[in-house]
Structure 1
Amino acid sequence: MSEEIFLMKGNEAIAHAAIRYGTDGYFGYPITPQSEILETLMDEAPWETTGMVVLQAESETSSINMVYGGAACGKAVFTSSSSTGISLMMEGFSFLAGGELPCLLINVMRGGPGLGTIQPSQSDYFQAVKGGGHGDYKLITLAPATVQEMADFVALGFDLAFKYNTPAMILADGAIGQMMEKVKLPPFKARRTEAEIREQCPWATLGKPADRKPNVITTLELDAHKMEVHNLKLQAKYKKIEKELNMHQEINCEDADYILVAFGTAARICQKAMELARAEGIKVGLIRPITLWPYPSKAIDKYASQIKGILTVEMNAGQMVEDVRLAVNGKVKVEHYGRMGGIVPTPHEVLDALKNKFDC
Structure 2
Amino acid sequence: MAKILMKGNEAFGKAAIEAGCKYFFGYPITPQNELPEYMSRELPNVGGVFVQAESEVSAINMIYGGAGAGARVMTSSSSPGIALKQEGITYAAGAELPCVVVNVMRGGPGLGGIQPSQADYFMSTRGGGNGDYRTPVYAPATVQEAVDMIMEAFNVADYYRTPVMVVADGMIGQMMEPVEFKAPKKRDLAPKDWATVGTKGQRKPNVINSLYLQPDELEKHCIKLEAKYKEIEKNEVDYEMYKTEDAELVFVAYGTTARIVKNAIDILRGEGIKAGLIRPKTLWPFPFEAFNQIPEAKNLLTVEMSMGQMVEDVRLAVEGRVPVHFYGRAGGMIPDPDGIANKAREVVESQLAVGGAR
How does the TM-score come out when normalised to structure 1? 0.94
Q: Secondary structure at the match of 2:84?
A: helix
* Residue deviations 1:272-321 (CA, integer Å, cap 9, x gap): 01111101110001111001000000112332x53110000000011001
Distance in 1 of aligned mates of 2:183 and 2:245:
37
1:252 pairs, out of 229, 243, 247, with: 243
Contact 1:71 1:101 in 2 (8 A): yes
1:138 pairs, out of 119, 134, 140, with: 134
Distance in 2 of aligned mates of 1:99 and 1:137:
11
Distance in 1 of aligned mates of 2:20 and 2:86:
26
Matched, 1:34 2:32: yes
Aligned counterpart, 2:329 = 339
Contact 1:22 1:52 in 2 (8 A): no
Aligned counterpart, 1:279 = 270
1:156 pairs, out of 152, 155, 173, with: 152
Which aligned pairs between 1:77-226 and structure 2 lie closer than 5 A? 77-186=73-182, 200-226=191-217
What percentage of residue pairs aligned between the two structures are identical?
A: 52
1:236 pairs, out of 224, 227, 230, with: 227
Moved more, 6-15 or 336-345: 6-15
Distance in 1 of aligned mates of 2:41 and 2:154:
23
RMSD: 1.5
Q: Secondary structure at the match of 2:114?
A: coil
* Residue deviations 1:241-278 (CA, integer Å, cap 9, x gap): 10111110111100111111100011010010111110
Q: Secondary structure at the match of 2:277?
A: strand
Q: CA deviation at 1:66?
A: 0.3
Distance in 1 of aligned mates of 2:332 and 2:26:
24
Distance in 2 of aligned mates of 1:187 and 1:272:
31
Q: Extract unaligned runs of 5+ from structure 2.
A: 353-358
* Residue deviations 1:171-191 (CA, integer Å, cap 9, x gap): 110011111111113479xxx
Contact 1:27 1:54 in 2 (8 A): yes
Which aligned pairs between 1:5-84 and structure 2 lie closer than 5 A? 5-44=3-42, 46-47=43-44, 49-84=45-80
Distance in 2 of aligned mates of 1:221 and 1:238:
20
Shift >6 Å, 4+ stretches: none
Contact 2:66 2:73 in 1 (8 A): yes
Q: Secondary structure at the match of 1:12?
A: helix
Q: Secondary structure at the match of 2:3?
A: strand
Q: CA deviation at 1:150?
A: 1.7
Distance in 2 of aligned mates of 1:4 and 1:38:
25
Moved more, 145-154 or 287-296: 145-154
Q: CA deviation at 1:354?
A: 1.1
Contact 2:113 2:332 in 1 (8 A): yes
When the two structures are aligned, how many residues end up with a matched partner? 347
Q: Which letter maps to 1:223?
A: Q
Distance in 2 of aligned mates of 1:74 and 1:211:
18
How does the TM-score come out when normalised to structure 2? 0.94
* Residue deviations 1:113-144 (CA, integer Å, cap 9, x gap): 01100000000000000111111110100000
* Residue deviations 1:174-213 (CA, integer Å, cap 9, x gap): 011111111113479xxxxxxxx9x621100101142311
* Residue deviations 1:2-26 (CA, integer Å, cap 9, x gap): x132111111100111122221200
Q: Secondary structure at the match of 1:185?
A: coil
